[in-house]
Amino acid sequence: MAAIAIIGEAVRVAGYGLAGALVLPAENAGEVRTAWQGLGPDVAVVILTPAAAASLGDPGGGPLRVVMPA
């Protein structure tokens, strides 16, 4: 089964774990990139906070990316 991952500031992503998402708190650009690079092959969708999306930029391929509203 495909997984959903959430990357971004801990205060904005913590609750998504209750819905079964893989929560990857990342407080700065380095942590965002590390979380992205560590995604497993089962992750099909990644939800990013606006700050995480700005830090990540365009990583090229990979799972579908969705940005939370600000």
Q: What pLDDT, in 10s, does the model give residues 7-55?
A: 999 999 999 999 999 999 999 999 999 999 999 999 999 999 999 999 9
pLDDT at res. 19: 95
What is the side-by-side strand order in the sheet with 3-8? 22-25, 3-8, 43-48, 64-67
Give CA 11 to chain center in angstroms. Answer: 13
Residue 1 pLDDT class (50, 70, 90 cuts): confident
Least Cα distance to 25 among 49, 9, 12, 48 occurs for 9
- Report residue 36 as tokens: 């992205």
23 or 59: which leads in pLDDT: 23
CATH topology of domain 3-67: Rossmann fold (3.40.50)
